[in-house]
Amino acid sequence: MADWVLHVDMDQFIAAVEVLRRPELAGLPVIVGGRGDPTERAVVSTASYEARAFGIGSGMPLRIAARKAPDDAVFLPVDHEAYEAASHEVMTALRSLPGVVLEVIGWDECFLGVESDDPEQVARDAQTAVREATGLHCSVGIGDNKVRAKIATEFGKPRGMFRLTAANWFEVMGKKPTRDLWGVGPKVQKRLATHGINTVRQLADADQQDLVAEFGPRMGVWYRDLGEGIGPAIVDDTPWVARSHSRETTFQRNLTTAEEVEAAIRELAASAFDDCAAEERAVVRVHLKVRYAPFETKTFGRKLAEPTLDRDQVVAAALELGGTLDRDREVRLLGVRAEMTMPDDADTAERTPVRGRI
């Protein structure tokens, strides 16, 4: 028997959970985002396959989605608690499979590590376990490592499975654009293109030193290996621990004064700090995200002088970042993210009392 990595990805997870709760929505274009009001500023969290047929996708402003949507489209508010509960049921069902190691990587996806001479049967067992426990459907990618398993899932959607290994990697992926690789976004794709690298095969054949010069010693090697589908193969069932907490708000009316921006940053930073303090983990870095009108987004960050469990220090760091914003531009979104010490290096948090809590 061989060792396999399976990537389980729930099909249209959030929309599917909503349809389970409201069976009358089955077959309709369902769009979930914000408070479910397409006249408000918010983005699509997910869209059902019926809605995707009209060009509606995750991250799209609800107002644009509303213009694309047909008359029978249904807009629903985000319900985090319902999705977390459904996710828990999915992962519990998968953990019940004999001989598997499960690594959660999101609400709606995970890796399974298994030793088997028939990984397709394991995939079918996983789909059956999820469907019987929750009524939801999933797709499964089968690979000899995490990279290939993750990419394979896209070829199995919806409700199917696909095997992608070293044996068929270039046959399947060789002519695909580099954007189809897990971990290559539009910016990296453009940087690769400046070197004449447009396909997966071209990336695999690229000179590693050229990639190192462009992306640095770690990422240059990573992207070169990615072209060959090389990646980690160990599935780790260690419980996932958040590295940061963030709070973000899209304002229904643009902020136009420095006082409004400062007040919003202060509130967001305090809330992000409280989420970290609830875990008794110190904050080490603060990030500020701003979206200027009409839709230009920028992110700034700074490392704190030392890990802290003092709310005032975290708020002050966020406000200092806020001082670098362009005061002549209207602001439609702000977000504050606080990075924390990880459990293994949180000695400071264990010894330092929390101050400034409301």
Instruction: Give mean pLDDT, residues 160-164.
Output: 98
CATH level 2 (architecture), domain 169-227: Orthogonal Bundle (1.10)
At 43-94, the pLDDT tens digits run 999 999 999 999 999 999 999 999 999 999 999 999 999 999 999 999 999 9
User: Taking the domains of the chain in order of start, what are their residue ranges?
Assistant: 2-11+81-164, 14-79, 169-227, 244-351
Instruction: Give mean pLDDT, residues 86-103.
Output: 97
At 257-277, the pLDDT tens digits run 999 999 999 999 999 999 999
Q: Residue 327: which of 258, 238, 255, 228 has the closest Cα? A: 258
Alpha carbon distance 317, 308 (integer Å): 11
Catalytic site residue from 18, 50, 103, 109: 109
- Whether 214 is a known active-site residue: answer no
At 122-158, the pLDDT tens digits run 999 999 999 999 999 999 999 999 999 999 999 999 9
Which pTM was predicted? 0.82
Contacts of 337 (CB under 8 A, 6+ apart): 244, 245, 246, 272, 286, 287, 289
At 164-180, the pLDDT tens digits run 999 999 999 999 999 99
Alpha carbon distance 13, 20 (integer Å): 10
Q: What is the tally of helices (H) and strands (E) in the chain?
A: 14, 12
Instruction: Give mean pLDDT, residues 332-345.
Output: 89
Q: How many CB atoms lie within 10 A of CB 10?
A: 23
Does an H or E element contain 19, and which?
Answer: helix 13-21
Q: How many CB atoms lie within 10 A of CB 267?
A: 15
What would the DSSP string read from start to end of 219-259? Answer: HHHHHHHHHTT--------SPP--SEEEEEEEEEEEE-SHH
Confidence band for 1, pLDDT divided at 50, 70 and 90: confident
At 213-242, the pLDDT tens digits run 999 999 999 999 999 999 999 999 988 788
Per-residue model confidence (pLDDT) at position 345: 59
Per-residue model confidence (pLDDT) at position 348: 37
Q: Are 256 and 330 in contact (CB under 8 A)?
A: yes
**Which whole-number Å values give the CA distances from 222 to 15, 24, 205, 231, in the listed order?**
34, 47, 14, 8
Alpha carbon distance 142, 123 (integer Å): 8
Query: What's 28's DSSP letter?
Result: S
Quick one: fold of 14-79? Answer: MutS, DNA mismatch repair protein, domain I (3.40.1170)
At 192-213, the pLDDT tens digits run 999 999 999 999 999 999 999 9
Query: What's 197's DSSP letter?
Result: -
Per-residue model confidence (pLDDT) at position 346: 41
Q: Is 355 a residue whose pLDDT tops 50?
A: no
Q: Are 113 and 103 in contact (CB under 8 A)?
A: yes
Alpha carbon distance 140, 265 (integer Å): 41
Q: Which CATH superfamily is domain 2-11+81-164 in?
A: Reverse transcriptase/Diguanylate cyclase domain (3.30.70.270)
Amino acid at 49: Y
How far the first Cα of the chain sits from its last, in Å, is 57
Of the ranges 114-123, 239-248, 285-294, which one carries the lowest mean pLDDT score? 239-248
Confidence band for 357, pLDDT divided at 50, 70 and 90: very low
* Joined tokens for residue 354: 């929390």
Contacts of 239 (CB under 8 A, 6+ apart): none
> Which residue shows structure tokens 């989605």?
65
**Percent of the chain topping pLDDT 90:** 92
Per-residue model confidence (pLDDT) at position 344: 67
80, with CB counted inside 10 A (0-12, 13-18, 19+), is exposed
Q: Is 163 a residue whose pLDDT tops 90?
A: yes
Q: Is 354 a residue whose pLDDT tops 70?
A: no
Contacts of 4 (CB under 8 A, 6+ apart): 113, 114, 115, 116, 119, 122, 142, 143, 144
CATH 3.40.50.300 assigned to domain 244-351? The reply is no
> Which residue shows structure tokens 């807009």?
75
95, with CB counted inside 10 A (0-12, 13-18, 19+), is middle
Q: How many CB atoms lie within 10 A of CB 220?
A: 18
* Joined tokens for residue 183: 């971990």
